[in-house]
Amino acid sequence: MRAKPNIVVTGTPGVGKTTHAELLARNTGLKHLSINDIVKSEKCHEGWDDELETWIVDEDKLLDTLEDLVAPGGQILDWHACDLFPARWVDLVVVVRCDSTILYDRLTARGYKGKKLEENMDAEIMQVLLEEARESYEEEIVVELKSDTAEEVEGNVERIEAWIAQWTKDREDEEEN
């Protein structure tokens, strides 16, 4: 049994996943794992997709790379997808959402355009990642959080911190019994 939970923070690019993950890591001592960074540094990809301007992820290699990191718990997995992570790894899935007008501004400020911009906007509008999370994990561990403002992000982080504290207490109580 893990002493600390593993949390997946997922959502469309630009919604605030990394902001949430970094704040949670800083405030809780859990480790922030940027899956994009791991894909690049550990070469868990099959090359670059010029049209979408992204790495073509080798999911098997990525999972093999992550297995030992997540086994003891205490990890925050920050990525734009969640369904490839085995349910046995995951204690909470946070799907970060954002108003489409705000998201459009964030993505264009990042230089997204063409098909990459269109696909990411469509994914957010159609709730693709929320549905993916709901289909891949038990309903009670999936939470949808809005991230339009700094105040919402702050409130979300506090809410997740409270969840971590309760999760930890529940594990300690189980060990006593």
Residue 4 labelled as part of a binding site: no
Long-range contacts, stretch 37-46, CB < 8 angstroms, 24+ apart: 38/62, 38/65, 38/66
pLDDT value of residue 1: 80
Residue at 46 is within a domain: yes
pLDDT value of residue 175: 85
Domain count, the chain: 1
**Could you tell me which of 154, 38, 160 has the C-alpha nearest to residue 93?**
160
Residue at 37 is within a domain: yes
**Could you tell me which of 62, 106, 113, 102 has the C-alpha nearest to residue 84?**
62
pLDDT at 176 over 90: no
Residue at 72 is within a domain: yes
pLDDT value of residue 73: 98
> What letters, b where the CB count within 10 A reaches 16 and e where it falls short, cover 47-82?
eeeeeeebbebbeeebeebbeeebeebbbbbbbbbb
Count CB-CB contacts under 10 A for residue 161. Answer: 15
Residue at 162 is within a domain: yes
CATH code (residue 41):
3.40.50.300
User: In 34-149, which residue ranges form alpha helices assigned H by DSSP?
Assistant: 35-41, 59-70, 100-109, 114-125, 128-136
Residue at 2 is within a domain: no
Residue 16 labelled as part of a binding site: yes
Query: What percentage of the chain exceeds 70 in pLDDT?
Result: 100
Residue at 67 is within a domain: yes
State the pTM of this model: 0.96
Residue at 101 is within a domain: yes
Residue at 57 is within a domain: yes
- For residues 17 and 96, the answer to whether their CB atoms sit within 8 Å is yes
Residue 168 labelled as part of a binding site: no
**Separation between Cα atoms, residue 64 and residue 44, nearest integer Å:** 9
Residue 17 labelled as part of a binding site: yes
Residue 110 labelled as part of a binding site: yes
pLDDT at 46 over 80: yes
What angle (nearest 5°) sits at the alpha carbon of residue 89, between those of residues 43 and 157? 95
Q: The domain containing residue 61 runs over which residues?
A: 7-166
pLDDT at 177 over 80: no
